[in-house]
Amino acid sequence: MQQDKKKTISADSSNPLNTLVNLWPYMWPHGRTDLKMRVVWATLFLVAAKLVLILVPYFFKWATDALNGKQDATSLLPVFLLGAVALVIAYNFTRLLQVGLNQLRDTLFASVGQHAVRQLAYKTFVHMHQLSLRFHLERKTGGLSRIIERGTKGIETIVRFTILNTAPTFIEFLLTAVILWWTYGFTYVLVTVITVWTYVWFTVKASDWRIGIRRSMNDSDTDANTKAIDSLLNFETVKYFGNEDMEANRFDGAMARYEKSATAIWTSLGWLNFGQGVIFGIGSMVMMVMSALAVQRGEQSIGDFVFINALLLQLSVPLNFIGFVYREIRQGLTDIEQMFDLLEVEAEVTDATHAKELIIGSGAISFKDVHFAYDPDRPILKGISFDVPAGKTIAIVGPSGAGKSTISRLLYRFYDIQDGTITIDGQEIRDVTQKSLRSVIGIVPQDTVLFNDTIAYNIRYGRTSAADSDVKAASDAAQISGFIERLPQGYETMVGERGLKLSGGEKQRVAIARTILKAPPVLILDEATSALDTNTEQEIQSALDIVSQNRTTLVIAHRLSTVIHADEIIVLKDGCIVERGTHPHLIAAHGLYASMWDRQREASRAEERLRQVRETDDLGIVDRGTPAH
């Protein structure tokens, strides 16, 4: 499915026509002759259904007059040749024919409406992935999913009612007005026009009033959904602190606001329907009185009285649709406003107009005088420069907040730097396509988040076209195949939401296997073992050493024990490079790196002593060497 990047659409609840014009290309899709023909046929059936519908009250009138001993020889149709029973049958047949034509219309248009929904949902989904990391860090996933869900339903409502209800309503109103004027005179048309105008005016005003309530209800719905998803995603944290009641109260607070708004919506709908009924009832009463007086004067027959009543009843249906369609379109517009607002958000990082594919050779990386800040008032990197030669391993260490992980995000071009250059094999990464750039980089992150699918799916995510044998080989290299094969369902084992059914070490091994399968020439290890215990770290580190062989590797590390064999270690502090060299060189310099090394060694010794004490306690030995009783 292709998307038109130059085409933008917008929703404006104060100007529905503008939105409908913007939606038209999705109802009349380019390159889909089959769908266009469905629109044409649906329109033909629509018009045919309205023409047949106009015959329904006529047959009712003629049947009434026939039963009353009168025949209308002046009719445009030779119905005076038919008997009363035949006219009754014709009356019911036309009603059935009209229903059948409407169903054909709806059936033909169903695929058109659903295609429009699919196109716009796809466009929104793609756009969400094109937006910057900054956007997604600032938005809540639960709220976004709710906005898209309501937006797609709103689109379906607008597309369907625009074609299937708005046009037929106007056609039927015009036909009714012409028939009344032709048969009974201008006075009947005048009463009809006044009734319809008052009805539409009241409906528009009341619906506009209800839009504000609808927005409040949508906001409460989004808030409740966001809180629910956020709480469920953090299920363990909620349990750790025993805050189930607090989470339930937060959710219930949002739902209470939703309840209030939803109640107001239904209450206002009741008043709207009542007002519409009063307006149409008064108009109908006036016309029926006029017809009854005409019958008494001998100017009309009982059939005419019945005809006018039937015509008014038929007109009430499209009039109800005028109110219903307007309400639905306005509410649909309200629902898709936020979705269209998302489509109008511009991506912070985009491909340059002259962007080319990255041509990867040896995979050498170079940072030259790079300046970067997430916020202009808080610089993160202050003119750093370093090279990662092809096939070498460069480690970046430093205190928290020094800007280490920012470097990996910049290399992936999740953000653009303010000054300086970042190149791979001499090619500025802002001059190549993001897709080609990211295809040559693999990463094992600190926090591995897996898809709620099978282990095989998560490993194959590194290269979706990989065969089962390739997945097995990558698992072997990551030293996790034995664990997987011992599972009852093996590679088809579900990992759970965010991989919560696996331990931290198991998730990291899956991430390593995924990266091995991708086989990237450039590798980033972003604090890949910092969240693991010492024993697990040592096991994972051996797998990482295998992955980084013969690859240009950038290691961002917290634990210095994992980088002592790096070809060069760069020490960052406050966004600047303060030291660089090999491990022995930096230890001998007695600077920041050496002090960090000493602190971590002392922490490791303390951890080891604590572990030995626990093992001793498990054996039943107390501190004084006395056997425990």
Q: Under 8 Å CB-to-CB from 206, ≥6 apart: which residues?
A: 268, 271, 272, 275
Residue 518 near residue 438, CB atoms below 8 Å: no
- What per-residue confidence (pLDDT) applies to 625? 47
- What per-residue confidence (pLDDT) applies to 580? 93
**Domain residues of the chain, as ranges?**
16-344, 356-440+522-593, 452-519
CA count, 13 A, side-chain hemisphere, 290: 18
Residue 460 near residue 384, CB atoms below 8 Å: no
- Phi–psi pair at 212, nearest 5 degrees: -60, -40
- What per-residue confidence (pLDDT) applies to 522? 92
- What per-residue confidence (pLDDT) applies to 24? 75
Above 90 in pLDDT, residue 364?
yes
Residue 463 near residue 519, CB atoms below 8 Å: yes
- What per-residue confidence (pLDDT) applies to 252? 86
- What per-residue confidence (pLDDT) applies to 359? 92
- What per-residue confidence (pLDDT) applies to 327? 65
pLDDT tens by residue, 527-567 = 766 655 666 667 667 777 777 878 899 998 888 888 888 99
Q: Outline where 297-375 has alpha helix (H).
A: 302-344
Above 80 in pLDDT, residue 426?
yes
- What per-residue confidence (pLDDT) applies to 588? 93
Mean pLDDT of the chain: 79
DSSP-assigned beta bridge partners for residue 524: 443, 554
Euclidean distance between CA atoms 533 and 505, whole angstroms: 9
CATH class of residue range 356-440+522-593: alpha beta
**DSSP code string of 271-285:** HHHHHHHHHHHHHHH
Tokens 């990464």 map to which residue? Answer: 429
Residue 416 near residue 430, CB atoms below 8 Å: yes
Euclidean distance between CA atoms 112 and 36, whole angstroms: 8
Band of residue 131 on the pLDDT scale cut at 50, 70, 90: confident
pLDDT tens by residue, 64-110 = 777 776 655 445 455 545 666 777 787 788 888 878 887 888 788 77
Q: Is the overall model pTM greater than 0.75, yes or no?
A: no
pLDDT tens by residue, 209-263 = 777 777 778 778 877 887 887 788 777 677 767 788 888 888 888 888 888 888 8
- What per-residue confidence (pLDDT) applies to 530? 61
Rg (CA), the chain: 36
Above 90 in pLDDT, residue 387?
yes
Q: Indicate the burial class of 620 (C-beta count within 10 angstroms; 0-12, 13-18, 19 or more).
A: exposed
pLDDT tens by residue, 152-211 = 777 777 766 766 666 677 777 777 777 778 877 788 888 888 888 888 888 878 877 777
16-344 falls under which CATH superfamily?
ABC transporter type 1, transmembrane domain (1.20.1560.10)
Q: Under 8 Å CB-to-CB from 200, ≥6 apart: which residues?
A: 322, 323, 326
Residue 365 near residue 423, CB atoms below 8 Å: yes
Return the minimum-mean-pLDDT range out of 79-93, 111-125, 459-473, 475-489: 79-93
Q: Between 398 and 21, whose confidence is greater?
A: 398
